């Protein structure tokens, strides 16, 4: 007897299935143990004393002047632009969009993406290269 009939006669399919299950179970256990290694090494390493924070460091929120942001962004693009310009004053002349969005989130300004797209389409927010932008009125 040869071929598939011989495999069937000698329970080859059951052995192949059992072998695959054993291998996959072993790999799952091995990956679980590897994921525990950072925790286990942390038990053997000495604990470092916490570093005190310098007293001179003042959080950014206290340094930056607060900007009054209305509940809804005005439809007039010039009025909306003045709000966003006031938010980015502390960032310098050029800034990244991620910094602008962070400032908007800190000021609880909802959905700044729409306004940023309007500013870019109107030519008010101009790319300076390498992911940086500047306001048209600041540089011209």
Residues 6 or more apart in contact with residue 114 via CB below 8 angstroms? 73
The sign of the torsion formed by the CA atoms of 118, 82, 88, 127 equals positive
The ranges assigned to domains in the chain are 4-44, 66-139
Cβ atoms of residues 113 and 100 within 8 Å: no
> Is the pLDDT reported for residue 139 higher than 80?
no
Phi and psi (nearest 5°) for 133?
Answer: -135, 160
Helix-helix angle 112-122:77-87, to 10 degrees? 110
Cα–Cα nearest to 108, from 65, 63, 69: 69
> Is the pLDDT reported for residue 74 higher than 90?
no
Give Cα separations from 35 to 14, 22, 32 (angstroms): 32, 20, 5
> Is the pLDDT reported for residue 55 higher than 80?
no
Pick the CATH number of 66-139 from 1.10.3470, 3.30.70, 3.30.420, 1.10.10: 1.10.10
Cα maximum dimension of the chain: 90
Note the pLDDT tens digit of each residue in 84-107: 888 888 888 888 888 888 888 888
Cα–Cα nearest to 128, from 79, 91, 93: 93
Q: What is the mean pLDDT of residues 51-59?
A: 62
**pTM score:** 0.47
pLDDT band at 67 (very low <50, low <70, confident <90, very high): low
């Amino acid at each position: 007897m040869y071929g598939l009939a011989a495999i069937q006669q000698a329970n080859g399919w059951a052995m192949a299935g059992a072998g695959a299950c054993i291998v996959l179970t072993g790999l799952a256990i091995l990956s679980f143990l590897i994921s525990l290694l950072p925790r286990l090494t942390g038990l053997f390493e000495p604990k470092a004393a916490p570093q005190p924070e310098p007293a001179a460091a003042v959080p950014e929120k206290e340094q930056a002047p607060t900007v009054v942001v209305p509940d809804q962004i005005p439809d007039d693009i010039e009025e909306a632009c003045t709000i966003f310009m006031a938010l980015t004053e502390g960032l310098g002349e050029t800034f990244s969009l991620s910094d602008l969005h962070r400032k908007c989130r800190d000021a609880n300004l909802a959905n700044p993406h729409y306004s940023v797209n309007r500013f870019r389409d109107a030519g008010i927010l101009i790319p300076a290269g390498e992911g940086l932008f500047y306001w048209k009125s600041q540089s011209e």
